[in-house]
Amino acid sequence: MTLRVVPQKKLEMEHSIVTGRQYRRFRQSGVTYLAVLFLVAVMGVLWAAVGEIWSTANQREKEKELLLIGAQFRDAIRQYYEHSPGILKKYPGTLEDLMKDERQPGTQRYLRKLFFDPMTKSNNWGLVMSPMGGIMGVHSFSDVHPIKSAIFLEADSDLTGKQKYSEWQFVYRPAPLAVPVR
């Protein structure tokens, strides 16, 4: 048996030689990795777009709910004001007065419950006070910019162009008394 001494440099060259089949496999493994990275990036962009659409749709639903609840508060305040006994009309002192009005012989209920503000998810409402005393309207405390800024119903026409939900005030103002002309 003879021992053959192979120089170190020659051994390194033999190990670094890659056959054709190994070279193709080595080259293709990078392409698969890049394809997976590209797929993950595209999926991330799509999920972000879906999230944005969902968020906008959710905000629009909350806006509709705020408009509905605000109209119910305004109507309840109107009924409370118009059903005031005697000549002097009064606004409610608290929102709870809208749920139980005991100024007349039978208890009147203008609201069944106090609604939650859909924008803040709280039952804490901003109150618009009348100069003569009492609550003449409500508003949200949300400082978020509304999506809807125009094309409101006539009762909500003063909401046009408002920059925050907290500026959306649902107020009952009685019609001025007509003065006969002589």
The domain spans of the chain are 61-171
Name 108's bridge partners: 101
Q: What is the DSSP string of 66-122?
A: HHHHHHHHHHHHHHHHHT-SSSS----SSGGGGT-B-SSSSPB-S-SSPPPBTTTTB
Tell me the one-letter amino acid at 27.
R
Classify residue 1 by its DSSP letter.
Answer: -
- At 135 the three-state DSSP class reads strand
The C-alpha atoms of residue 152 and residue 23 are separated, in whole angstroms, by 69
What is the number of H-type helices and E-type strands within the chain?
A: 2, 3
pTM: 0.73
Weakest-pLDDT range from 6-10, 54-58, 159-163: 6-10
pLDDT digits (tens, 9 = 90+) for 70-79: 999 999 999 9
